[in-house]
Amino acid sequence: MNTPLDTTLAHLPGTPCYLNGQYGPVRDAKVSVLDRGFIFGDGVYEVLPVYGGKIFRFVQHMARLQRSLAELRIINPLASAEWLAIARRLIQSQIDGGGSVNQLVYIQITRGVAVRDHVMPSGLTPTVFVMVSDMKLPTPAMREQGVACVTADDFRWEKAHIKSTSLLGAVFSRQISADAGALETVMFRDGMLSEGAASNVWVVKNGQLMGPPNDHLVLEGIRFSLLEDICRERGIPFELRRITRAEVLDADELLLSSATKEVLPITQLDGVPVGTGQPGPVYASLYAGYQQAKTTQSI
């Protein structure tokens, strides 16, 4: 059962992590094969962006983590102050080890270890895992030229609002775009826009920013409320509603948002230019507002 470390784990990063109260290199972290996260994907995760060593929108990320845990009937094992302390210790350790001041903090909580049974057992101790990695932001060329995406039907389950570790549907969806040499897959459910494999998708028409409603069919990105705030500050009309595929294909601008992409223009969809085929004015305004928010909403 034992395999030499140099043949299986040596290629993994030595970046710092936290696992069930212990700190150490991520390559040395281990969990039971009977952990329900491993067996069933029975857990949730959250990703916190870090700029200049400070966590962006920490309170909003903690609120979404709590919502996901509640959906799975898992009690949050730590208070917000404890999560913050763990994240800050790992961030500083990464910086001290020569890492970037711009990072991602990945949090994962599973129901815990139990004999395999589909029914949710009670009384388990959740498995708590946190790691950090340097953040890879979009390149200047991607911002100047925009990115290409493809479309696909949304074949995932109907609880997309849970940030679940059960991500095989997202893996398949993202592979569609990877196989096509595109950055992301824009998905539709019954002819209506849902989201990307790892992004929220936004439509701009006649100067208005529109996105799908916050319901069980999409994951509410932390940027939902952020972009709404930026729109309010900059006089950009904002609306959440059902958006048809025809409206997406007729958009003046299409945008992606996520922790790593921030806000990013789609300038080609299924090989066809979006609008003028160049990043548009609404994107430029939102991106500028986003950069300002990073300086005021990080702790």
Measured at the CA of 286, the angle between CA 281 and CA 289, to 5 degrees, comes to 130
What is the number of alpha carbons within 13 Å of residue 26 lying toward its C-beta? 18
30 as an active site residue: the answer is no
Residue of 30, 163, 205, 261 marked catalytic = 163
Task: State the pLDDT confidence band at 5, using cuts at 50, 70 and 90.
Answer: very low
State both tokens at 120.
């949710």
Name the more confident of 201 and 4: 201
Task: State the pLDDT confidence band at 7, using cuts at 50, 70 and 90.
Answer: low
The distance from CA 292 to its chain's CA centroid, rounded to whole angstroms, is 21
At residue 220, the pLDDT reads 79
pLDDT averaged over the chain?
95
| Whole-structure pTM value | 0.93
The stretch 35-41 carries a mean pLDDT of 97
Helix (H) or strand (E) holding 23: strand 22-25
At residue 279, the pLDDT reads 98
Residue 3 has pLDDT above 50, yes or no: no
Q: What is the pLDDT of residues 145-176, one digit of tens each?
A: 999 999 999 998 889 999 999 999 999 999 99
Residue 59 has pLDDT above 80, yes or no: yes
At residue 8, the pLDDT reads 63
Considering only CA atoms, which of 235, 234, 233, 221 is closest in space to residue 264?
221
CA dist., res. 243 & res. 250, Å (int) = 11
Q: Judging by beta carbons within 10 Å of its beta carbon (0-12, 13-18, 19+), is residue 11 exposed, middle or buried?
A: exposed
Exposure string over 97-136, b if 16+ CB within 10 A, otherwise e: eebbebbbbbbbbbbbbbeeeeeeeeebebbbbbbbbbbe
3-state secondary structure of 44: strand
Residue 192 has pLDDT above 90, yes or no: yes
Least confident window among 3-17, 26-40, 230-244: 3-17
At residue 119, the pLDDT reads 97
Considering only CA atoms, which of 42, 12, 59 is closest in space to residue 127?
42
Q: Cα dihedral sign for 226, 229, 235, 237?
A: positive
Q: What is the pLDDT of residues 129-150, one digit of tens each?
A: 999 999 999 999 999 999 999 9
